Copies of this chain bind each other. A is one copy, B any other.
Amino acid sequence: MTVRQDVHSAGIPVLCQSCEARHRGVCGALDPEQLVGLAKTSSKQQVKPGMELIGDAETVDCYSNVLSGVVKLTKSLSDGRQQIVGLQFAPDFLGRPFKAESAINAEAATTVSLCSFPKAAIERMMKESPELEHRLFKQTLNELDEARDWMVTLGRKSASEKVASFLLMIAKNIDPAVDAAAESTSFDLPLTRADIADFLGLTIETVSRQLTRLRTDSVIRIDNNRHVTVENMSRLERRSGA
């Protein structure tokens, strides 16, 4: 994508010009002047898979935009059982407003690039600009809708339906254009089998068995453990239980 220097990007920090968070994310709420102010204290960073971004019960002092990659939000029981309670893709906003301590863990599932700002800067800007708070509110409502969708999956679907639902969700996130009509799609799984298990409330073994079942039934193909090709979208959808 070429960065055009036209009326729309006049006065916008270089950092932000081609940034997805400005187009579809929360930064879209800010005018050039505010962007400049924020860009002064913000910093881009690249994070390797497995790195912890926010620790449970840790004081959080920065918020971030996810620019690429996938972040997993997890919660754990005292004995180590873990559950993924959310996945964040670009250009999601990462952080829990109005709370000093995080109740969840955030960890890079893939290589992730982030744009981080000090907590205080965002909170000041939220007071000045109702539009920013409005955008964050809308994202939170979407996350709540997603969380509730997954509660149905966790509570009421069988293992094979869970795995099918997961693949569908990933396919739709990677390529928002795909739907049941599409013949086939293909993508890299952003999660390991262990992560998928933590996301679906299953064990690694069960996830693996269900994936091979989908493979032997030629609903999907799997290459190199990570690359999935959905051969037949509508059959996958029928297996998702929705």
**Chain A residues within 8 Å of B, Cβ to Cβ:** 73, 75-79, 81-83, 85-86, 96-99, 103-104, 130, 133-134, 136-138, 140-141, 143-145, 147-152, 154-157, 200-201, 241-242
Residues of chain B lying within 8 A (CB to CB) of residue A86: 148
Q: Once the chains are docked, how many angstroms separate the CA of A136 from the CA of B144?
A: 13
Given contacts A77-B241, A148-B86, A242-B77, contact A137 B133 (CB under 8 A): yes
Indicate if the CB atoms of A141 and B83 lie closer than 8 Å.
no
Indicate if the CB atoms of A133 and B136 lie closer than 8 Å.
no
Cβ-closest chain B residue relative to A82: B156
Enumerate the 6 nearest inter-chain pairs by beta-carbon distance, A residue then B residue, closest first: A155-B201, A85-B148, A154-B154, A147-B147, A130-B130, A137-B137
Indicate if the CB atoms of A154 and B201 lie closer than 8 Å.
yes
Indicate if the CB atoms of A83 and B152 lie closer than 8 Å.
yes
Given contacts A77-B156, A78-B242, contact A140 B130 (CB under 8 A): no
Residues of chain B lying within 8 A (CB to CB) of residue A144: 140, 143-144, 147
Cβ-closest chain B residue relative to A151: B85
Indicate if the CB atoms of A98 and B148 lie closer than 8 Å.
no
Indicate if the CB atoms of B152 and A151 lie closer than 8 Å.
no
**Told that A75-B149, A97-B141 touch, could you supply 4 new A-B pairs with CB distance under 8 A?**
A77-B156, A81-B157, A97-B137, A103-B148
User: Of B85, B141, B143, B152, which contacts A75 at CB under 8 A?
Assistant: B152
**A191 vs chain B, min Cβ distance (A):** 15
Residues of chain B lying within 8 A (CB to CB) of residue A155: 83, 154, 200-201
Cβ-closest chain B residue relative to A158: B81
User: Of B79, B81, B133, which contacts A133 at CB under 8 A?
Assistant: B133
Given contacts A130-B130, A143-B144, A144-B147, contact A152 B241 (CB under 8 A): no
